[in-house]
């Protein structure tokens, strides 16, 4: 079987970031003997730098072809330039796809509000099914950017975008989502022909098996690894860290990543070197070593965030860390079940209280770490994406009958 994965975003394995959904699915399909063409933009979303055409990634197995599509550059993630970028990707896809034999099925990553049209028209023209793979929630995320009084009117303001996504759900052979929360949202108004939740998951083998000893007299070690950006609860995280460092609490913080808040983090690390370490951007391959020294991972998202089961939460659980997070939905339920502590996004006092709970109660920390390690078994990325590949096979076989 020949499958195309279409998504302008994401990173290639050799680019050094944590493995992306497209790569995980491509591996799962290739392992089952299928050929895969992975369509990606020549703009790398994080850095906004251009990729070379004709990329061959040595970290991918045989049977996977990378199709790099030229697209218009953009600077800001929420901007007209971003919309024009997505439309240019769709135009590039239309040109290149017309010269190739049609696949048996396409997987279209969503959000795809501004590039889906030409791709769906291609699928209709050549008579193949497509699977909608929901990785994030647009336009729900757009509503968060509205001024406070207008947010409740988000569904009305962005009504045409909701309708556009509803049409994609109706046209698809199946909807796959990275969390049950996302699936519930995108199928709230329209029911797809098939649906399945496939979590991003985690490469459990790449993370060290933790020991769940009660931590000794040495300081409690809290780690945050990820983007230092506006979608995260960075003002609260940094205020809580500064308060605990100034109070000389027995807690050591390590932050890794880059983004708009990087300068603030660096300043704090210089001001409180005994309590705060800033590593800058850390390759995904080095995260296991960082987590092996830690007790707690922070998963802090801005108030109103639509993030449900973030990648860092899977990593923290697989590494046997207790997680302190502001997520709601599935992740919040897992935290309350024993994987860590929830706190209210935007509240410095709530975050401090969550950390202090483990300072006072090492036994509770050990229990949370053990719970997390066991819970991570369900989210192994190989197992998750084998299920995705099985769904694709079922759809193709049903079409060919």
Q: What is the DSSP string of 93-148?
A: HHHHHTTS---SEEEEEE--TTTHHHHHHHHHHHT--EEEEE-S-TTHHHHHTS-G
Domain boundaries, given as residue ranges, for the chain: 2-201+380-400, 204-379
Higher pLDDT, 175 or 259: 175
Query: What's the whole-number mean pLDDT along residues 288-304?
Result: 92
* Per-residue confidence band for 209, with pLDDT thresholds at 50, 70 and 90: low
* Per-residue confidence band for 208, with pLDDT thresholds at 50, 70 and 90: low
Query: What's the whole-number mean pLDDT along residues 387-391?
Result: 98
pLDDT of residue 141: 74
The segment with the largest mean pLDDT, out of 63-77, 124-138, 276-290, 302-316, is 124-138
Distance CA 338, CA 342 (A): 10
pLDDT of residue 282: 87
Indicate the average pLDDT of the chain. Answer: 91
Higher pLDDT, 208 or 243: 243
pLDDT of residue 216: 52
Fold topology of 204-379:
Rossmann fold (3.40.50)
pLDDT of residue 210: 57
Query: What's the whole-number mean pLDDT along residues 255-279?
Result: 94
Query: What's the whole-number mean pLDDT along residues 346-357?
Result: 97
Query: What's the whole-number mean pLDDT along residues 143-164?
Result: 79
pLDDT of residue 151: 76
Task: With a cut of 70, say whether residue 138 has pLDDT above it.
Answer: yes
List pLDDT tens digits, range 58-101. Answer: 889 999 999 999 999 888 877 888 889 999 999 999 999 999 99
Query: What's the whole-number mean pLDDT along residues 295-316?
Result: 91
List pLDDT tens digits, range 164-205. Answer: 999 999 999 999 999 999 999 999 999 999 999 999 998 888
Q: 219 and 202 in contact (C-beta within 8 Å)?
A: no
pLDDT of residue 215: 52
pLDDT of residue 150: 76
Query: What's the whole-number mean pLDDT along residues 29-35?
Result: 97
Distance CA 229, CA 240 (A): 17
Query: What's the whole-number mean pLDDT along residues 259-283?
Result: 93
Q: 198 and 278 in contact (C-beta within 8 Å)?
A: no
pLDDT of residue 370: 93
Q: Which of 95-109, 195-209, 367-381 has the lowest mean pLDDT?
A: 195-209
Nearest CA among 79, 140, 70 for reference residue 329: 140
Residues 6+ apart with CB under 8 A from 26: 5, 36, 38, 60, 64
Q: Which neighbouring-strand residues pair with 130? A: 106
Q: Give the CA radius of gyration of the chain.
A: 22
Its pTM stands at 0.85
Same fold, 2-201+380-400 and 204-379: yes
Report the CATH number of the 2-201+380-400 domain: 3.40.50.2000
Distance CA 329, CA 337 (A): 12
pLDDT of residue 286: 86
pLDDT of residue 207: 74
Task: With a cut of 70, say whether residue 212 has pLDDT above it.
Answer: no
Higher pLDDT, 388 or 146: 388
């Amino acid at each position: 079987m020949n499958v195309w994965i279409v998504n302008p975003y994401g990173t290639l394995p050799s680019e050094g970031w944590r493995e992306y959904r497209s790569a995980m699915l491509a591996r799962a399909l290739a392992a089952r003997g299928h050929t895969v063409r992975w369509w990606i933009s020549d703009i790398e979303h994080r850095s906004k730098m251009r990729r070379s055409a004709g990329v061959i990634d040595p970290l991918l197995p045989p049977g996977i072809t990378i199709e790099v599509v030229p697209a218009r550059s953009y600077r800001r993630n929420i901007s007209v330039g971003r919309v024009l970028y997505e439309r240019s990707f769709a135009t590039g896809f239309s040109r290149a796809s017309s010269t190739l034999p049609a696949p048996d099925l396409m997987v279209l990553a969503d959000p795809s509000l501004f590039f889906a049209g030409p791709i769906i028209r291609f699928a209709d023209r050549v008579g193949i099914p497509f699977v909608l793979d929901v990785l994030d929630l647009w336009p729900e995320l757009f509503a968060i950017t509205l001024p406070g009084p207008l947010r409740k009117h988000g569904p009305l303001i962005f009504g045409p975008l909701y309708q556009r996504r509803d049409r994609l759900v109706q046209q698809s052979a199946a909807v796959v989502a990275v969390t049950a929360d996302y699936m519930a949202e995108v199928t709230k108004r329209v029911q797809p022909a098939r649906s399945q939740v496939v979590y991003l998951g985690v490469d459990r083998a790449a993370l060290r098996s933790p020991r769940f000893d009660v931590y000794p007299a040495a300081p409690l070690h809290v780690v945050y690894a990820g983007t230092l950006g506006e979608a995260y609860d960075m003002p609260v995280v940094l205020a809580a860290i500064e308060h605990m460092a100034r109070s000389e609490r027995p807690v050591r913080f390590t932050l890794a990543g880059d983004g708009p808040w990087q300068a603030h983090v660096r300043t704090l690390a210089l001001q409180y070197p005994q309590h705060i370490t800033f590593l800058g951007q850390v390759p995904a391959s080095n995260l296991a070593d960082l987590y092996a020294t830690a007790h707690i991972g922070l998963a802090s998202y801005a108030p109103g965030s639509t993030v449900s089961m973030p990648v860092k939460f899977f990593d923290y659980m697989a590494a046997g860390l207790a997680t302190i997070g502001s997520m709601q939905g599935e992740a919040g339920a897992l935290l309350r079940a024993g994987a860590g502590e929830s706190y209210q996004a935007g509240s410095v006092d709530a975050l401090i209280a969550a950390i202090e709970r483990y300072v006072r109660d090492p036994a509770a920390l050990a229990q949370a770490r053990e719970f997390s390690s066991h819970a991570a078994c369900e989210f192994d990325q190989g197992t998750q994406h084998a299920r995705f590949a099985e769904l694709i096979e079922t759809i193709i076989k049903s079409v060919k009958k």
